[in-house]
Chain A
Amino acid sequence: KAGVTQTPRYLIKTRGQQVTLSCSPISGHRSVSWYQQTPGQGLQFLFEYFSETQRNKGNFPGRFSGRQFSNSRSEMNVSTLELGDSALYLCASSPLASDRITPLGYTFGSGTRLTVV
C-alpha cells in the first residue's frame, strides 16, 4: 500500500516567485492536511481539505492557498515568496475529516524542503 507522496522533495525559489507543492494521499483517504515546519516555530497547521472543500485554516497569510482534486490529491501554493517561507512542508492524510474520530490517526509524507533565496 503506497504511502503519502509529496513532490518535489526539494525546491529552491527566488524571493517574489510563487511555488506549487503536491501531495497524493493514501488510496482511499479523503482528508489532506498541510503543515509548515521551521526550526523556530516548529510544526504549524496550514489547512485541511476534505472532499475538495477546505475544512480548517491555520493562521497564515493569504499568500498560502491550497486546493484538493476529486481524486483527493492536493496542491499547496505560495505566492510572492519571502525568505521566511523557507521550511519543510509536510502533508498528512487521513480517511476522515479532522472533526471525525478516526482510529487510524494521520499518516505523513516525507515533505518538500523549500528554500527561498
Chain B
Amino acid sequence: KQEVTQIPAALSVPEGENLVLNCSFTDSAIYNLQWFRQDPGKGLTSLLLIQSSQREQTSGRLNASLDKSSGRSTLYIAASQPGDSATYLCAVKSENFVFGPGTRLSVLP
C-alpha cells in the first residue's frame, strides 16, 4: 500500500528566502507525481507534474525534482513571497492518487 509523507508539517519563513519542501513515498512504482497548492477552504491548484521518467520540472520560481528509486521528491521555491502562503500537497499516482498530509507554509512580509 502506497504511503506518502511530507516534511516539514509546517514552515514559517521571512519573505525572500529560498525554501525546500520534501515528499517521500514508499512504493516506487508510480506513473507520476504532482505538486498542488491549497489555500484555506479552497480546492487544489496544480503546480507541477513530473512523469516517472522525468527528473525535474520547472515553472517560474518553482522547481520540482523526482528520485523515483529513493522514493523522494522535493519542491523548491525561490525568492518566496507572502502570496506563496498556502498548504502544499504532493500526490503520487499509482493505481490511484495518494496524497501526502501537506506542508503548511507561511511567508512573512
Contacts and interface: CB of A to CB of B under 8 A. Distances in A.
Interface of A: 4, 6, 33, 35, 42-45, 48, 56, 58, 88, 90, 92, 98-99, 101, 103-111, 113
Band of interface residues on B: 20 to 34
B44 A90 contact: yes
B42 to A, nearest CB: 6
B32 A105 contact: yes
B51 interface: yes
Contact of B101 (A42, A48, A90, A111): A42
Interface in B78-109: 89, 91, 93, 95-102
Interface of B: 31-32, 34, 36, 41-46, 49, 51, 89, 91, 93, 95-102
A6 B34 CA distance: 21
Contacts of B91: 43
B70 to A, nearest CB: 21
Contact of B43 (A42, A48, A99, A110): A110
B49 A103 contact: yes
A29 to B, nearest CB: 14
B29 to A, nearest CB: 12
Question: A-B pairs with the 3 shortest C-beta distances?
Answer: A108-B44, A110-B43, A43-B99
B93 A98 contact: yes
Contacts of A44: 99
Given A6-B43, A56-B95, 5 more contacts: A88-B41, A90-B43, A101-B32, A106-B46, A108-B46
Contacts of A110: 42-43
Nearest to A48: B96
A113 B96 contact: no
B32 A33 contact: no
Nearest to B44: A108
